[in-house]
């Protein structure tokens, strides 16, 4: 690990000012510290934001409001979260080991870097780490990589399980920066790699995530998160699905679907949602809708299996969702 300066923020304004000048925010540090040890990330200054009052969890006007510094474990165990948005609690539990959930913050989870092994190998090309150096995953070991939203410059999947659930639930986020505050959908936080894969999110220099807001809706009562992985213990998704349904009189009135492990960002499946609306919640209907999920997919040498695993995971997630009382 290279030398760096660590400072503690006394206020959000002070933290934002220092971050705008080039310092990096650090909260739980479960991603950043690892990358600093491996010299993938080399910040010269860190600003510790853990004392900022951004860790609350509350209900407000029917919305669930989660502070950016709330820990994953706290959010997953919170009574309001379990009552209002059980899909979020489930995605958090599936998203990390107990040790990591105790440390990792909600804001940090959304901004975590990719888990592509080539990103961490300093002796191979990675356009996320070193723009213009190439993408070793394109012709390398790519069984865990993306099939949706890829480019010739990057095929790494976005790692956050929580983000998939938040995108499915139309969550928004509030951020604060040198130019003031703004709010936008969580889905709009993430960029496609295109020819600039090192630009992973849409935050402006110095902007700090303040909170996430999840609107109350009928979807929250009938929702499940299903994650398929290489092992049952802590592991990143090969394919995951956040599914939520509104069923009235035996018919799907609305559906929400987002998937992880297959896209370069959390991937909302609006065509699948539209195909479910007005239909009966039965396996044949689920299978027809799930086939639409692989439209535009670009599989690599070792991840063709995701073309089959993705629709199957969606179908099973919808079946589990349909079973929720």
CB-based burial of residue 7 (10 Å sphere; 0-12 exposed, 13-18 middle, 19+ buried)? middle
The dihedral region occupied by 148, where left means phi > 0, alpha psi between -120 and 50, and beta the remainder, is beta
pLDDT at 323: 82
115 is written with which tokens?
């888990």
pLDDT at 174: 98
Q: What are phi and psi of 259, to 5 degrees?
A: -130, 155
Instruction: Determine the straight-line distance between the first and last CA of the chain, rounded to whole angstroms.
Output: 51
How far does CA 78 lie from the centroid of its chain?
20
CA–CA dist 267, 298 (Å, integer): 14
Q: How many Cβ atoms from other residues are within 10 Å of residue 185's Cβ?
A: 13
Q: Which CATH number fits domain 1-51: 3.40.50.300, 3.30.43.10, 3.40.630.10, 3.40.50.150?
A: 3.30.43.10
pLDDT at 142: 97
Beta pairing, strands 180-185 & 208-214: unpaired
pLDDT at 325: 52
Compute CA distances 46 → 24, 144, 153, whole Å. 5, 32, 29
Rounded to 10 degrees, the C-alpha dihedral 209/10/45/179 comes to: 50
**Per-residue pLDDT tens listing for the chain (325 residues):** 899 999 999 999 999 999 999 999 999 999 999 999 999 999 999 999 999 999 999 999 989 999 999 999 999 999 999 999 999 999 999 999 999 999 999 999 999 999 999 999 999 999 999 999 999 999 999 999 999 999 999 999 999 999 999 999 999 999 999 999 999 999 999 999 999 999 999 999 999 999 999 999 888 889 999 999 998 777 899 999 999 999 999 999 999 999 999 999 999 999 999 999 999 999 999 999 999 999 999 999 999 999 999 999 999 999 999 886 5
CB burial string 195-228: b at 16+ within 10 A, e below: eebeebeeeeebbbbbbbbbeebebbbbbbbbbb
Q: What SS3 state is found at 267?
A: strand
Q: What does the domain layout of the chain look like in residue ranges?
A: 1-51, 219-323
- Architecture of the CATH domain 219-323: 2-Layer Sandwich (3.30)
275 is written with which tokens?
């195909």
pLDDT at 247: 95
């Amino acid at each position: 690990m290279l030398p760096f300066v660590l400072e503690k923020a006394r206020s959000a304004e002070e933290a934002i000012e220092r971050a705008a000048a080039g310092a990096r925010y650090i909260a739980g540090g479960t991603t950043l510290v690892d990358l600093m040890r491996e010299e993938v990330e080399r910040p010269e200054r860190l600003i510790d934001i853990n004392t900022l009052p951004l860790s609350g969890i509350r209900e407000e006007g029917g919305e669930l409001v989660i502070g950016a510094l709330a820990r994953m474990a706290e959010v997953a165990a919170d009574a309001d979260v379990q009552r209002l948005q059980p899909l979020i609690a489930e995605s958090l539990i599936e998203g990390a080991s107990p040790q990591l959930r105790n440390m990792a913050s909600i804001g940090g989870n959304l901004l975590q870097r990719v888990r592509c092994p080539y990103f961490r190998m300093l002796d191979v090309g990675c356009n996320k780490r070193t723009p213009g150096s190439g993408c070793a995953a394109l012709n390398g070991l790519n069984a865990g990589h993306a099939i949706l939203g890829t480019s010739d410059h990057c095929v790494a999947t976005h790692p956050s399980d929580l983000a998939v659930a938040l995108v499915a639930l139309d969550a928004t986020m509030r951020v604060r920066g040198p130019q003031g505050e703004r709010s936008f959908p969580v889905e709009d936080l993430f960029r496609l790699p295109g020819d600039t894969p090192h630009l992973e999110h849409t935050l402006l220099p110095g902007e700090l995530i303040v909170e996430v807001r999840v609107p109350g809706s009928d979807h929250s009562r009938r929702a499940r998160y299903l994650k398929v992985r290489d092992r049952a213990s802590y592991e990143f998704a090969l394919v995951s699905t956040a599914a939520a349904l509104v069923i009235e009189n035996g018919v799907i009135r609305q559906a929400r679907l987002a998937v992880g492990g297959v896209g370069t960002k959390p991937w909302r499946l609006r065509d699948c949602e539209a195909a479910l609306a007005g239909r009966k919640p039965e396996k044949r209907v689920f299978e027809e809708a799930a086939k639409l999920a692989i439209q535009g997919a670009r599989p690599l040498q070792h991840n063709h299996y995701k073309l089959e695993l993705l629709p199957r995971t969606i179908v099973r997630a919808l079946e589990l969702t349909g079973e929720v009382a």
